[in-house]
Amino acid sequence: MNADGLDVNEVVTGPINPLTGETVATDKSSVRPYCVMINNHPNARPCKGLSNASIVYEALVEGDITRMMAVFTDISETDVGYIRSARPYYVSLAQAYDAIYVHCGHSDQARADIKQYGISDIDATFGEGGSAWVRDKDRVGVVSYEHTLYAKGAKIAEYAQSKFSTEHPAGFDTNYGLVFSRDAASQCDKESKEFTIKYLSSTATTMKYVADRNCYNAFISGKEYTDGNDKHIDFANVIILNVGNRVVDNKGHREMNLVGSGTGYFCNGGKYVEIKWERANRDDNFHYTLTDGTPLALGIGKTFISIAPLDSTGSVTW
């Protein structure tokens, strides 16, 4: 038992949001989530709507910058942006959730994968989504045009319901391979009050633990990554996955293998622990364990997942 009288290994059960572990009034775990590509170019910040996302991914793209993918349990009550194009490893991530994939544009390989694997996608470049797409009038003419597009979530959901099944198929793991604990920090054995994830020598994200909110906030180029100009995006958990990548063409596009197994770190409550990850195939969820094979329990709340080549030019500085 901990100081609150809770079992350290007590697992939170439903009805919960299966992506955050938060209690919900109605079990909607059978409903497919939305994975939305988010521009992380400096001129595209601050983002819009990510404080309503359940999970946010960050990984490298060409140009030695990163791009985000936000996973929404329900997109219908938020506007989200600024929208950017698909990459093949993000397509693979969307498959792990059986998600509806929202983006504007694509690399050639991403488009091929979307077709090959039958991804339910909504691509603004083909007019899909109809009136869901909006150019931010306060940004047009101030920054490049590609940094101005956002999506009306209600319209995206309306379009998806008219085009796709919005329910997971029978047999799908509606827990997404995740479990949650009210005392997830008890699994961790080292301090992680502030740390920096290096994707490249010149590309990094710093996470800072905020004790009074029991969360982490992300900082990029020394400035907090916010929803709008001043709204915190509070992450209960940070997961760092060690995944190698390589440049595959003269445009700088990258290849990442998100199937198989690897190592990483889990951070919660100002502490961290080394972990392992496994994923059997593209349709499988990620499964996280401690190094001894014990299933990892996440803390209740949002999760930030960094995919970084820690064994090469990247690193984590604790």
Q: Which pLDDT does position 10 carry in this prediction? A: 67
Q: Give me 79's structure tokens.
A: 């506007």
And the tokens for 283? 């349709």
Distance in angstroms (rounded) separating the CA atoms of residues 98 and 129: 19
Contact 155, 132 (CB under 8 A): yes
pLDDT in the model for residue 135 = 97
pLDDT of residue 315: 86
Residue 172 has what pLDDT? 95
Q: Which residues of the chain have pLDDT under 50?
A: 1-6, 8
pLDDT at res. 9? 57
Q: What angle do CA 71, 108, 74 make, to 5 degrees?
A: 15
Bridging pattern class, strands 194-200 and 190-191: unpaired
SS3 assignment, position 205 = strand
